[in-house]
Amino acid sequence: MSQRFKDIDYIGVFLWVFRAIIIVLVIYGTVSKLFLGVGNEYTIETWIDFFVSGLSQGSLYALIALGYTMVYGILFMINFAHGEFFMSGAMTSTVLVATFLSASGFLDAQPLVSMLLITAVSIITSISVALLTERIAYRPLRRAPRLVPLITAIGASFFWQYFFRGLFGSALIPFPVPESLQGRWTIFGLEFLRTRVVVMGTTVIALVFLYLFIQRTKTGKAIRAVAEDKDVAALMGINVDRTISITFAIGAAMAGIAGVLWGLVFRQVHFYMGFVPGIKAFTAAVFGGIGSIPGAALGGLLLGVIEAVGPPLFLEGLGIVGAHQLKDVIAFTMLVLVLIFRPQGLIGEKLAEKKA
Amino acid sequence: MALLEVNNLHAYYGNIHALKGISLQVEEGEIVSLIGGNGAGKTTTLRSISGLIPPKPGAITLGGEDLSNHKAHELVSRGVAMVPEGRGVFAKLTVLENLEMGAFHRTDKDGIIADLNSVYELFPRLAERKKQLAGTMSGGEQQMLAMGRAMMSRPTLLLLDEPSMGLAPVLVEAIFDTITEINKNGTTVLLVEQNAHMALQVAHRGYVLQTGTIVLSDSAKELQRNPMVQKAYLGIE
């Protein structure tokens, strides 16, 4: 018996208690909300609405998280400027294309063509910003210690924020939503905001395309090969620098798509809009298992849903007022919990020695 | 003129002077072995020839063409293929995908399929495991895959770094038989080995490397008889 007590490690006990408290709080909140009726004013439709808005928000996180996870997978570097790739596409396409299309009436006359045009400009901008950042700021540091490109990424993030502030000003810029995408659609007898349906549909298409690209194409296979071993990939005749650029470009394209979808949902863009979504998407990538593409998608969706359903479900059940304002607390609590209890993420693998 | 000519090659790892001006030639159709102990510079020599380490200074020519200013990925299309130490298969890619990576620079689809079939003929085990992830295979199978993958680029010069490392004796025999077969089919081979016994058995000529310099070069038969080689590398007193 005394031998057993000697083996107890106090940090382990603390973490165990910490985990137990969180679980008890979540369960207690949920039960008191659903069954004890602590201010349970929501109907089943409202819950579905919470869930769907969570899925749509999560889709956006997932699209952005792909860029973090792909770059990490190939360079073992957290590209903190990725949120700015997202912002640059959203802002540029809004100011240069969407506003103009809306003023001329073309946006409502040809919503599909307009949205495709806006998205194309957004993707091109995001890719250009990403390639410039990679070429100028990251490539010279390829063999530097890992902290150096991380700090550089934060610097690049500030650079692009203030670059686009200088370019387009610091005001909130409205994103025009075509009339045909305003209001709701009725699907299976339930009403859904049209923009949310568009967000989820586009995300699914983008994810399928990305999956096929990575799995089936020669370039996709080269990306996976470079991620595993750069020297051996070079011995196969793969241009490693070019492959890394392509990886940045694909991540940025996803961020560019997310930028337009973000505009549709929130109806405004701003030079600082990349910061919080960037951090959230990073959280999603870590949650799913950084380096894993399916992990980023899953992590993003789960984070969105937990953020949307969590506050009304267990925070309100705990009697917290204004629970919706605490969704960021949930997101970052999750980040901390994942880092403590499952650093490899939901479906990520444990890092091998050489990567760590 | 020899197929591969290396003249006065130097290489550094940071401040460590790993190669101190080595020169060697490999004639077309030969198997040449480079033997030496740990840290002698064998792997560094191969990494320099394949472009992974820039020569400072040194001249490397293949069939008269200067290779020393090209990066590794540009050398594959010029006929250099290397099987790295520890095999270096892409663990998370399937066997077939690994082989496809070997033919990365090629665009002749028919030729690639033909070479794929001849690799499967050389290593029937790979054909059975096409769809399997390379990381789930045994060491011997991974060595076969690494060699098959290198052959997929249709190299004129094949560089092999420690192909016998970590393999059971029966597999070592099989691998060296395959090396002879690959050579008979027309590929020139430069082989680096700690297993000097096997290396000198299959090779036509050999070089002995000690702390970054070549101390001896001769035909493989003569090297096997050389008292210094016998004592230091073959374990014969």
3-state secondary structure string, A216-227?
Answer: HCHHHHHHHHHH
Residue B108 at interface with chain A, using a CB cutoff of 8 Å: no
Q: Is the pLDDT of residue A39 over 70?
A: no
**Yes or no, beta carbons of B149 and A236 under 8 Å apart:** yes
- CA distances (Å), origin A318, targets A27, A54, A169, A324: 10, 21, 42, 13
**ipTM of the complex as predicted:** 0.89
What is the per-residue pLDDT for A5?
A: 62
> What are the backbone angles phi and psi of residue A322, rounded to the nearest 5°?
65, 40
Class of domain A43-308: mainly alpha
Q: Is the pLDDT of residue A1 over 60?
A: no
**Yes or no, beta carbons of B73 and A238 under 8 Å apart:** yes
Ranked by mean pLDDT, the top range of A182-186, A292-296, A322-326, B221-225 is A292-296
What is the per-residue pLDDT for B223?
A: 76
Q: Is the pLDDT of residue A281 over 70?
A: yes
User: Which of B51, B81, B97 has the CB atom closest to A221's CB atom?
Assistant: B97
Rounded CA-CA distance A90/A159 in Å is: 17
What is the per-residue pLDDT for B39?
A: 78
**Yes or no, beta carbons of B153 and A221 under 8 Å apart:** no
What is the per-residue pLDDT for A356?
A: 33
Q: Is the pLDDT of residue A92 over 90?
A: yes
Share of chain A above pLDDT 70, in %: 93
Label residue A61 exposed, middle or buried (CB < 10 Å: 0-12, 13-18, 19+).
buried
Residues of B in contact with A292 (CB under 8 A): none
What is the per-residue pLDDT for A261?
A: 94
Beta strand residue intervals within chain B, DSSP E: 4-13, 16-26, 31-35, 59-62, 65-66, 80-83, 157-161, 188-193, 205-210, 213-219
Residue in chain A nearest B149 by alpha carbon: A236
In a 3-state reduction of DSSP, which class is residue B199?
Answer: helix
Residue in chain B nearest A227 by alpha carbon: B90
Residues of A in contact with B88 (CB under 8 A): 229, 231-232, 235
User: Which of B51, B74, B88 has the CB atom closest to A232's CB atom?
Assistant: B88
Report CA dihedral (A107, A111, A113, A118) to the nearest 10 degrees: 60
Where residue A114 falls among pLDDT bands split at 50, 70, 90? confident
**Mutation site, A236, A243, A246, interface B, largest B CB count within 10 A:** A236
What is the per-residue pLDDT for B237?
A: 65
Where residue A82 falls among pLDDT bands split at 50, 70, 90? very high
Q: Is the pLDDT of residue A2 over 80?
A: no
- CA distances (Å), origin B205, targets A140, B115, B182: 42, 28, 17
Mean pLDDT, residues A258-265 taken together: 93
**Yes or no, beta carbons of B101 and A225 under 8 Å apart:** yes
- pTM of this structure: 0.88
Here the tokens at position A205 are 């298409």
What is the per-residue pLDDT for B77?
A: 87
* HEC secondary structure over B116-157: HHHHHHHCHHHHHCCCCEHHHCCHHHHHHHHHHHHHCCCCCE
In a 3-state reduction of DSSP, which class is residue A253?
Answer: helix
Residue A222 at interface with chain B, using a CB cutoff of 8 Å: yes
CA distance B196 to chain A (A): 25
Of A13-17, A93-97, A227-231, A293-297, minimum mean pLDDT range: A13-17
Rounded CA-CA distance A83/A272 in Å is: 9
Instruction: Give me the residues of chain B with pLDDT under 50, please.
Output: none
What is the per-residue pLDDT for A354?
A: 39
Radius of gyration of chain B (CA): 17
Domains and their CATH numbers in chain B = 4-232 (3.40.50.300)
What is the per-residue pLDDT for A355?
A: 40
What is the per-residue pLDDT for B8?
A: 84
Here the tokens at position A82 are 């990725």
For residue range A117-175, what is the model confidence (pLDDT) as tens digits? 999 999 999 999 999 999 999 999 988 888 899 999 999 999 999 999 999 988 899 88
Q: Please answer whether residues B126 and B144 qualify as being in contact, where contact means their C-beta atoms are separated by less than 8 angstroms.
A: yes
Side-chain-side CA neighbours of A344 within 13 Å: the count stands at: 8
Q: Please answer whether residues A238 and A226 qualify as being in contact, where contact means their C-beta atoms are separated by less than 8 angstroms.
A: yes
Rounded CA-CA distance B191/B202 in Å is: 10
**Yes or no, beta carbons of A235 and B82 under 8 Å apart:** yes
* A–B CB contacts, 8 A cutoff, strictly below: 63
What is the per-residue pLDDT for A69?
A: 92
What is the per-residue pLDDT for B62?
A: 81
Residue A143 at interface with chain B, using a CB cutoff of 8 Å: no
**Yes or no, beta carbons of A236 and B71 under 8 Å apart:** no
The candidate with the shortest Cα–Cα distance to A152, out of A78, A253, A218, A240, is: A78
Where residue A40 falls among pLDDT bands split at 50, 70, 90? low
Share of chain A above pLDDT 90, in %: 48
Where residue A101 falls among pLDDT bands split at 50, 70, 90? confident
Residues of B in contact with A355 (CB under 8 A): none
What is the per-residue pLDDT for A38?
A: 57
Burial code (b: 16+ CB inside 10 Å, e: under 16) for A315-346 equals bbbeeeeebeebbeebbeebbeebeeeeebbb
What is the average pLDDT value for chain A, to the nearest integer?
86
Beta strand residue intervals within chain A, DSSP E: 173-174, 184-187, 190-193, 268-269
